[in-house]
Amino acid sequence: MLSVSQAVEIAANAVEAARRAGADAADAGVSADQSTGIGVRLGQIEDIDRSEGESLSLRVFVGRRMASVSSSRMADTDLTRLAERVVAMACAAPEDPWAGLAPDARLLHGNAPDLDLHDGHDVTPDRLRDMAMAIEDAARGVAGVTNSEGAGASAREAVSALATSHGFAAGYRTTNYSASASVIAGTGERMQNGHAGHSARYLDQLDATIELGRRAAARAIERLDPVKVQSGPMPILFDPRVSGSLVNHFAAAISGPAVARGTSFLKDRLGKPVFAAGVSVHDDPHRPRGLRSRPFDGEGLPMSPAALIDNGVLQTWLLDSATARQLGLEPTGHGARGGGVSTSNLYLAAGTIPPQTLLGEVTRGLYVTELIGQGVNGVTGDYSRGVAGFLIEDGELTRPVAGVTIAGNLSDMFAALTPASDLSFRYGINAPTVRVDGMTVAGD
């Protein structure tokens, strides 16, 4: 696999080739990765995956005309031909008044921050196999588990690099490990599955294999014999496994491209309350070993921790350079490679109320552990998702629930959202348990 210095050199060479071919400006990204994954089922190896890849993306500007191409061929002669083709494409493209590289003055200068994203392990396939076997064995050893959909473990190493024609050139290396299992409890029409998994930058950060297996088993068993509920309005509690999805919908609604097109239900809310007072949403690209940590964005701009929501009020859009020009603002360091925007370690800050208190205040409601389907309209904010979870009765989780749909509007849901105090950082997007009062439930 390419080293960081090799990836940076190739990106810089691609930019230079574009300039020789007639581009006024250019940037190039290089990525390389290698991964190994082992899947097992019922105590036997079911699949072994090994992949290695390298890719280059080259973007050029001729005046206000832009074009981009990608390739897996990176020899100097290949770069020359690629640059000539993409410059010809740009010359034939329509003008875009907002096109261009990120502002020179905003580029990351000096060394990129070390975010401790690479642990240096060389994990063998045998170790991954043993991890997957141990997870499934732990799950199948729990009384009530009747079958397995399999368990797996994987390791991935990656390199990312970026170079621009106005002087930026840097790269970084990452590792990622994951382990999971999915098993079945019950028989016949009573069967239910349960899943548990974990991903981390460092191998020693992963949850213990026995813990993962037993968690998957418990989740399958607790879902047996689900009931439906009577339709009507009621409070909904979102488990931390799914509450981050609400934060993701929020991020999509404040993306610069959606705001510039006028296709976001939050397009007129900058500087205004979106969540209840006391609620905050943050994006932290510098979290050590974070699953989405990175030292610079897809345009070479430095990234800094930012409060997107402070005390309920929307503080900023997520802006790449092109959208920032269109809106008359400054880029925020959220540019994605290839266009658009992306967040890093996005999270809803913990509240002050313990989750048991949020639960205990509910006379009748739903505790959601799984979301099904895609029923979110980013233009209007209308929200409708199938769910599974548990019925809340007199402040207690009672019976499992399935075959139910919850609905509302994200504007109303954000305003009515109360976060609990149990935030932990397990995913790329994190949130504590949250309660949203007044949602509509469609059941029996």
Look up residue 191 and give its two tokens: 């069967």
Residue 112: per-residue pLDDT: 84
Average pLDDT over residues 412-431: 97
Average pLDDT over residues 301-325: 97
What count of other Cβ atoms lies within 10 Å of the Cβ of residue 374?
8
What is the rounded CA–CA span in Å between residue 405 and residue 371?
A: 9
What is the rounded CA–CA span in Å between residue 123 and residue 175?
A: 11
* HSE of 224, CA atoms in CB hemisphere, 13 A: 16
pLDDT in tens, 248-268: 999 999 999 999 999 999 999
Residues 436, 408 contacting (CB under 8 angstroms):
yes
Look up residue 277 and give its two tokens: 């007072």
Q: Is the pLDDT of residue 444 over 80?
A: no
Look up residue 272 and give its two tokens: 């205004």
Q: Please state the pTM of the whole predicted model.
A: 0.95
Residue 271: per-residue pLDDT: 97
- Calculate helix-pair angle for 4-20, 76-92, nearest 10 degrees: 50
Q: Which residue has the tokens 């959220």?
A: 334
What is the rounded CA–CA span in Å between residue 285 and residue 333?
A: 10
Q: What residue segments make up the domains of the chain, in order of their start?
A: 4-222, 226-444
Q: Is the pLDDT of residue 291 over 90?
A: yes
Question: H helices of 287-386, where?
Answer: 321-327, 355-360
Three-state secondary structure call for residue 218: helix
Which positions ≥6 away from 208 have C-beta within 8 Å? none
Homologous superfamily of domain range 4-222: PmbA/TldD superfamily (3.30.2290.10)
What is the rounded CA–CA span in Å between residue 130 and residue 213?
A: 13
Minimal CA–CA distance to 282: which of 237, 244, 335? 244
Residue 121: per-residue pLDDT: 85
Residue 443: per-residue pLDDT: 81
Average pLDDT over residues 3-16: 98
pLDDT in tens, 344-370: 999 999 999 999 999 999 999 999 999
In the chain the first and final C-alpha atoms are separated, in Å, by 56
Residues 49, 40 contacting (CB under 8 angstroms):
no
Residue 427 pLDDT grade (very low, low, confident, very high; cuts 50, 70, 90):
very high
Q: Is the pLDDT of residue 101 over 80?
A: yes
Residue 110: per-residue pLDDT: 85
Q: Give me Rg for the CA atoms of the chain.
A: 24
pLDDT in tens, 40-84: 999 999 999 999 999 999 999 999 999 999 999 999 999 999 999
| CA 81 to chain CA mean position, Å | 35
Question: What is the chain's mean pLDDT, rounded?
Answer: 96
Residue 178: per-residue pLDDT: 98
Q: Which residues pair with 35 in a beta bridge?
A: 51, 156
Residue 244 pLDDT grade (very low, low, confident, very high; cuts 50, 70, 90):
very high
Residue 398: per-residue pLDDT: 96
pLDDT in tens, 129-150: 999 999 999 999 999 999 999 9
Q: Cα angle vertex 423, ends 238, 212, to 5°? A: 80
Residues 309, 275 contacting (CB under 8 angstroms):
yes
pLDDT in tens, 164-196: 999 999 999 999 999 999 999 999 989 999 999
Q: Which residues pair with 313 in a beta bridge?
A: 273, 310
Residue 339: per-residue pLDDT: 82
Q: Cα angle vertex 442, ends 438, 444, to 5°? A: 130
Residue 111: per-residue pLDDT: 84
| CB-based contacts of 372-381 (< 8 A; 24+ apart in sequence) | 375/407, 376/249, 376/410, 378/249, 378/252, 378/253, 378/258, 378/263, 378/264, 378/265, 379/263, 379/264, 379/265, 380/265, 380/409, 381/253, 381/265, 381/266, 381/409, 381/410, 381/411
The residue type of 275 is F
Question: H helices of 141-208, where?
Answer: none
Average pLDDT over residues 394-405: 95
Candidate from 102-111, 152-161, 309-318 with smallest mean pLDDT: 102-111
Minimal CA–CA distance to 273: which of 228, 223, 313? 313
For residue 178, CA distances in Å to 200, 207, 294, 369 come to: 6, 9, 19, 21
Minimal CA–CA distance to 82: which of 23, 161, 148, 142? 23
Strand 306-310, strand 382-393: pairing: unpaired
